[in-house]
Structure 1
Amino acid sequence: MGYSHAVSGAAAWVAVTTTVPGFGLAPLDPLGVLTGAAVCAGAALLPDIDHPSSTVASALPGGRVISGVASGLTGGHRKGMHSLVATICILLAAVVLSLASWTPDGWDRPLAIGPAIGAAVCIAVGTKCLRIARSWVLSWIIGIAAAAGLMWWFPDEFAWLPACIGIGYVVHLIGDTLTTGGVPWLWPIMLKRPVVFRRTMLIKRLWPRRGSFALPLLGNAGSWREWLLTTLLTLYAIWGLAAAALALLPG
């Protein structure tokens, strides 16, 4: 579901930060919409750091080691990293990272090093998973160049970074909740029986593993329903990002 998660992150950012075609909940300038969509796409893959074969684990130096540690601390794939506890921790980490800066000797303004690092990682992961970049080398070049450009010329754009990472993370959990596997939102509290909203026209009686919540409208991961939703979200994201790109053009 890597591509699906990345697309859902970008689409969610468009929905939140644009008025057309979004809802304008937190409107941003076109540059913030474009760069934030790339960051949110990458952030929407972060919960899968608990799986050694995930896109985000493959992207990071020492990613398999990080994945092993995360998996060991949280109980394995789709356990602790897919919970409200992890969401709060990631959001707090993003806030702390957004405050990290460095002022070189003789400079009159600080460089937003922390936000740039977070943005570079998310953009690199997002562009690779969305197949904008075919190789990790190119995706990292794009991520580092974009983050460096923002840090140098548009440092105020980083104000949205924690919210962007938080939205991407939550969108991932919602996507997994819509599959038969479900998500243990209340981890480390593990219920005796999984909670499944069932018996509707589109949902059969499906019981995911212990402790999870599921509204399996998409069925199993990779189903035709997931493919259909991903296609619609892709078209929606392209619409919003194209509008933002056109708004940047002179005149």
Structure 2
Amino acid sequence: MMGFSHAVSGAAVWVAVTTTMPGVGIAPLDPLGVLTGAAVCAGAALLPDIDHPSSTVATALPGGRVVAGAVSGVTGGHRGGMHSVLAVIGAILAAVALSFLVWTPPGWEQQLAVGPAIAAAVCIAVGTKCLRIARGWFASWTIGALSAAALMWWFPDQFGWLPACIGLGFVVHLVGDTLTTGGVPWLWPVMPRRPVAFRRTLLITRLWPSRGRFALPVLGNAGSWREWILTVALGLFAATGIVAAAVRLLAPLVA
């Protein structure tokens, strides 16, 4: 999948999980959690591509291209180890670890969740840039930093969902790439060598471990017309949930 599709998918899945209209409400949240979580999950759905020096997330971070090169070398290149179950677990554990990075200002009783705010700022900045909500990196980082700071300052309890949100974004990215011909190595570093061919159908050509990558390529190549149809549908779904959450959030203010 292309970066824009990944970001839209992340936002859509968060809406589906945390709302009942239009989602299924597996883990319902208040409107603020839906809105901020959608932005964070959109950015988190781009994080696996830190193994590519030209990816959105790599170009977003200071020294990101150097980091991406190092990660690529360690994990076997693009769509290597960063696109695996092991990476999902690592991302969740990293988010949990960041939850212990807190600061209590002098004279305050409430701790400020500094670590989660940093993670949220990065994800929101990357997501808003990729979704073209912000034109440039200065604007996207301003949005990310201000949004995360506001949550940290006034709504510190909102960060309880952050590890799940980042983990969900990672999984959405892997699922999206699995639906293309490139596939992903879900079981990395276990790398099956012998391809396993399945019966061909109209859209599904094969499901295989080839070079360790598994694929169910119903979308064809990344950027295909099938992918863009799916992205438009997911975008409309996400927009419906986001607008509904915004209305619920603002309703008490205008009542």
TM-score if structure 1 supplies the norm length?
0.97
Give the whole-Å Cα distance in 1 for the aligned partners of 2:72 and 2:98.
23
> Unpaired runs of 5+ in structure 1?
none
Say what the alpha-carbon RMSD is for the aligned residues. Answer: 1.4
> Unpaired runs of 5+ in structure 2?
none
Count of equivalent residues: 251
Q: Percent identity?
A: 75
Letter of the structure 1 residue corresponding to residue 122 of structure 2 = V
Give the whole-Å Cα distance in 1 for the aligned partners of 2:154 and 2:199.
51
Q: In the alignment, does 2:130 pair up with 1:129?
A: yes
Query: 2:51 touches 2:77 (CA, 8 Å); kept in 1?
Result: yes
Superposition deviation, residue 110 in structure 1: 1.2
Q: In the alignment, does 2:103 pair up with 1:109?
A: no
Letter of the structure 2 residue corresponding to residue 5 of structure 1 = H
Where do residues 92-103 of structure 1 align in structure 2 (5 Å cutoff)? 92-103=93-104
Superposition deviation, residue 206 in structure 1: 7.7
Superposition deviation, residue 199 in structure 1: 1.4
Letter of the structure 1 residue corresponding to residue 120 of structure 2 = A
Query: 1:198 touches 1:215 (CA, 8 Å); kept in 2?
Result: no
What residue is the counterpart of 1:236 in the other structure? 237
Where do residues 11-30 of structure 1 align in structure 2 (5 Å cutoff)? 11-30=12-31
Superposition deviation, residue 122 in structure 1: 0.2
Give the whole-Å Cα distance in 2 for the aligned partners of 1:130 and 1:53.
17
Superposition deviation, residue 202 in structure 1: 1.1
Give the whole-Å Cα distance in 1 for the aligned partners of 2:110 and 2:241.
33
Q: Quick check: 220-229 or 189-198, which moved more?
A: 189-198
Give the whole-Å Cα distance in 2 for the aligned partners of 1:49 and 1:229.
24
Q: Quick check: 103-112 or 234-243, which moved more?
A: 103-112
What residue is the counterpart of 1:191 in the other structure? 192
| Cα gap change, 1:136 to 1:248, in 2 (>3 Å) | same
Please give the per-residue CA displacement for 1:72-128, whole angstroms capped at 9, x wherever unaligned: 110110010000111111110011112210112322221110010000000000000
1:73 aligned counterpart, secondary structure: helix
Query: 1:82 touches 1:183 (CA, 8 Å); kept in 2?
Result: yes
TM-score if structure 2 supplies the norm length?
0.95
Letter of the structure 1 residue corresponding to residue 95 of structure 2 = A
Where do residues 15-54 of structure 1 align in structure 2 (5 Å cutoff)? 15-54=16-55
1:37 aligned counterpart, secondary structure: helix
